[in-house]
Chain A
Amino acid sequence: MDQILLITLNGLTLAGVYFLVASGLTLIFGLMRVITMAHGTSYLLGGYVGYVIARDTGNWFLGVLGAAIVIGLVGLFIHQVLIRRFQDDDMRVALITLGVSLIGTDLMLATFGGTATQVPIDPELQVASVSLPIVGSYPVLRLLVLLIAVVIGFALALMISRTRFGSVVRAGVDDSPMTGATGINVRVVFAIVFVVGSALAAIAGVIGGTLFPLLPGQDGVYLLYSLVVVIVGGMGSIPGAAIGAVLVGLVSQFGIVYAPTYALVLTFALMVVVLAIRPQGLLGRTV
């Protein structure tokens, strides 16, 4: 019983990281109807940038902030220079960003090497644990990650549903030419959303890189997980990404414990089942 609870908690904290990565992807897709295959690159590069900053300044929060800014700028570059002209051609955007991820993988391997690194954080926090009922002691850091993911998730959902910017974004999703006609500069909105989406991946990278080691090849892994999360949850929906992340996190954790070889296959089976029942994802709208 306590083992099942422990696995559930691990799954939920893992889901926090998955949600942070996937929320950026789903945000970008929701507005622009394009999928960026460079999202895993944003995650890993964000983790590395956060690692360098946190190592040199000794401040973890500076690492998160710096990574978000740097990757946000990279995202702005990708959006403005490479894909803005082809925004209506989702296939070409997917291929171009795939090319970006190819370059990113190669350059990151050359710059940061093939060995595992971990974003440094206050050593006290690193080992601190609280005792929970039934489960026993559990690392504080993991609970904090879950908390951060929940806070960011609610902030995003509220921003989209309650603020003026959110209503502009939603209007842009529904009918971007009409939104433009009402005097809103949709292009700027697109650019902002792309930057925010990339920055979210970077934040996820620093947080993920604090819990788990950063390794080459993780760009592909996290791209895969965020794709599965948004396919399961429904593309373009933040609550959908949350549900998808929780499902994927739980399935992969239980899979690792009970059927290690098939952990990823099980995650994938989850995706197939969801697709068979609801091709647009759990909370997705038909496009």
Chain B
Amino acid sequence: MADRSVLFAPQPTGVSRWLPWAIVSVVMLLVLIFPFIVDRPRFWLPNIGVQSIWLGIIAMSLVFLNRYVGLLSLAQVTVAGISAYGVGYMVVTLQQDFVLGALVGIVVGTFSAFVIALIAARTKAIYFLMITLAIGQVFFSWASQAIEVTGASRGLAPIRRPDWGVIDLNDITTFYYFAVAVGVFCYVLCRYVAGSTFGLALEGVRDSPERMKALGYNVNAYRVAATTFAGFIASIGGILIVLDRAQVDPNVVSLGATLDVLVVAVIGGIGSLGGVFVGALVLTLLSNFAQGLTEQYMTLTGIVFILILLFAPAGLAGIGQQVKRLISRRRRSATDSDESSQDPSAAQPTEHAITEGNKR
């Protein structure tokens, strides 16, 4: 219903045409001057800035899969972790250069996503979720035990940030801008792929696999390809994790990390590629500042997570839409006063909004 109304919507005019661009410019400007407006750059840049960006990138790969393929994968953190372990193994164990390590990491991560897709892509929605969760946990258990490969719970360290003369990632401001550039690159790439014919075919596979099959598309191959692409994005996020932490250990792929990324995706809006960075910012702010308020920061995160799922399933990115719908509903019920404002169907928009969010 929602997407059909979009078809007949009038072309954006006036305010609604330039508003998105204005928001994008303001946000980009804020991101660029961020290092100069915060009081303690040494705290803010790594703990809030860079961390938000890699959380956002991994969450974006999850959102991409959910929005364009309709698959909710809980193995994205695992893919990022495998990529990070790839870097760690190359740099620490084999004493190789970081750039080579990063390339190997991305290849290994993307390949692991391909393998995961081969195992899981035959299954549907909830099975896919369960199987990817199981895969993630199994990798976690292996990573925390296989001492000869992953260094078990000690992990692989130290992985020094490279210094390429002009670009020295050891300088925190440079590193922050580097991370921003990587984040923008991933976002643009996701948007580009989503807008390509491949992306359109993916949406077809999501909405009606039977019809796409009848049209001669290999539905399974499309799912595998999309999962592999999302794995590539997550692997890039994994490289940033290594750069940020200077090491890899099993915590990177733990259940907690998986939930963190899921929380980020849900807070930002599980149907919105850009919203993930807002979600990531909210989570990093919560984790850094809520610890002063309460011991149970995880509980607080969990409560926020559940509240958003209950009341604003399209996430922060969708809240504008939701408020708009609420206001128009109010106006309508104010004009025809016969109708009770306690209309039970007022809760309707939240129903199925995750699937609806996919379509948006």
A residues with a Cβ closer than 8 A to B are 34-35, 82, 85-86, 88-92, 94-96, 98-100, 102-103, 105-107, 110, 220, 224, 227-228, 231, 235, 260-262, 264-265, 267-268, 271-272, 275-276, 279
Contact = CB atoms under 8 A, between A and B. Distances in A.
B299 A103 contact: yes
A89 B287 CA distance: 30
B319 interface: no
Contacts of B354: 89, 91-92, 95
Contacts of B295: 110
A86 to B, nearest CB: 7
Given A92-B313, A94-B126, A99 B134 contact: no
B126 A96 contact: no
B298 A106 contact: yes
Contacts, number: 108
Given A90-B126, A264-B142, A268-B134, A99 B306 contact: yes
A89 B352 contact: yes
11 contacts: A35-B126, A35-B130, A82-B310, A89-B355, A96-B306, A96-B309, A100-B302, A102-B259, A231-B131, A231-B134, A268-B135
A224 B310 contact: no
Contact of B355 (A91, A95, A227): A91
A99 B310 CA distance: 11
A260 B347 CA distance: 52
B135 A82 contact: no
Contact of A275 (B131, B296, B310): B131
Contact of B129 (A82, A94, A267): A94
Given A35-B126, A91-B355, A227-B130, A102 B309 contact: no
Contacts of B310: 82, 96
B288 interface: no
Interface string B76-94: 0000000000000000000
Interface stretch (B43-51, B117-125, B190-198, B202-210): B117-125
Contacts of A110: 295-296
The dominant DSSP class at the A interface is helix
A210 B15 CA distance: 66
A268 B127 contact: no
Interface residues of B, number: 42
Contact of B302 (A91, A102, A262): A102
Contact of A95 (B134, B301, B309, B352): B309
A30 to B, nearest CB: 13
A106 B302 contact: yes
B133 A91 contact: no
A107 B298 CA distance: 9
Interface in B150-201: none
A264 B306 contact: no
B129 A264 contact: no
B134 A228 contact: yes
Contacts of B306: 82, 96, 99-100, 103
B299 A265 contact: no
Given A224-B138, A264-B142, A268-B138, 4 more contacts: A89-B352, A102-B298, A103-B306, A105-B298
A173 B193 CA distance: 40
A95 B138 contact: no
Nearest to B148: A261
A99 B302 contact: yes
A121 to B, nearest CB: 29
B130 A107 contact: no
A242 to B, nearest CB: 19
Contacts of A231: 127, 130-131, 134
A267 B129 CA distance: 18
Contacts of B303: 99, 103
B145 A261 contact: yes
B138 A107 contact: no
B341 interface: no
A89 B130 CA distance: 15
